Structure 1
Amino acid sequence: MSTPEIQALAGQLAAAHAGRSTLAELPAALVPADEAAAYAVQLATLAERGSEAAGWKVGSKSHDGPIQGAPLPAEGVSMSPATVERGAFGVLGLELEIGFVFGEAFEPAARPYSDDAVMAGVQGMVATIEIVSSRFADWPRTDKLAQLADLQNHGALIVGEPVPYQAAFPFLRPPMRFSLDGADLIQGTPANPAGDPRRLLPWLVNHWTGLGRRVAPGMVATAGSYTGIYFPERPGVYVGEIAGLPPVRLTIA
Structure 2
Amino acid sequence: MSSPSTDADIAHALVQARRTGGAVNADSLCIIDAAQAYRVQGLVALAMGWFGQAPPRHWKAGGARREDTLTHAPLPPAGIWPSPADAVAWPLRWRGVEAEIALRLGQPVDRSLAESLTQQAAVLLIDAMAVSIEIVDSRWEQAQDAPAWHRLADLQSHGALVLGEWQPMRAVDWATQRCELHIGAQMHVFSGTHPLGDPTWVLPQWLRHATRQGAVLPAGSVVTTGSWCGLPLAQAGDTVRARFDGIGVACVQL
Structure-1-length-normalised TM-score:
0.89
**CA-atom RMSD in angstroms:** 2.3
Change (3 A) 1:120 1:178: same
The percent of aligned pairs where both chains have the same amino acid is 27
Change (3 A) 1:56 1:47: same
Residue in 1 that maps onto 2:77? 74
CA contact (8 A) 1:63 1:196 kept: no
State the Cα deviation string for residues 146-190 of structure 1 (Å, max 9, x = none). 111110111110011110111x21223311211135x44315645
CA contact (8 A) 1:102 1:220 kept: yes
Letter in 2 for 1:132: V
Q: Distance in 2 between matches of 1:47 and 1:212?
A: 17
Letter in 2 for 1:31: C
Structure 1: gaps spanning 5 or more residues: none
Q: Distance in 1 between matches of 2:227 and 2:117?
A: 25
Q: Distance in 2 between matches of 1:105 and 1:153?
A: 27
CA contact (8 A) 2:179 2:190 kept: no
User: Is 2:162 the partner of 1:158?
Assistant: yes
Partner of 1:89, secondary structure, is coil
Q: Distance in 2 between matches of 1:69 and 1:35?
A: 10
Residue in 1 that maps onto 2:129? 125
Partner of 2:225, secondary structure, is strand
State the Cα deviation string for residues 176-214 of structure 1 (Å, max 9, x = none). 211135x44315645011211211111000111113332
Letter in 2 for 1:232: A
User: Is 2:178 the partner of 1:175?
Assistant: yes
* Structure 1 residue 235 displacement after superposition: 1.1
Structure 2: gaps spanning 5 or more residues: none
Letter in 1 for 2:155: L
Residue in 2 that maps onto 1:113? 116
Structure-2-length-normalised TM-score:
0.89
Q: Distance in 2 between matches of 1:44 and 1:189?
A: 39
Residue in 2 that maps onto 1:17? 18
Residue in 1 that maps onto 2:42? 43
- 201, 204, 207: which one aligns with 1:202: 204
Partner of 1:172, secondary structure, is helix
* Structure 1 residue 26 displacement after superposition: 4.2
- Paired positions, count: 247
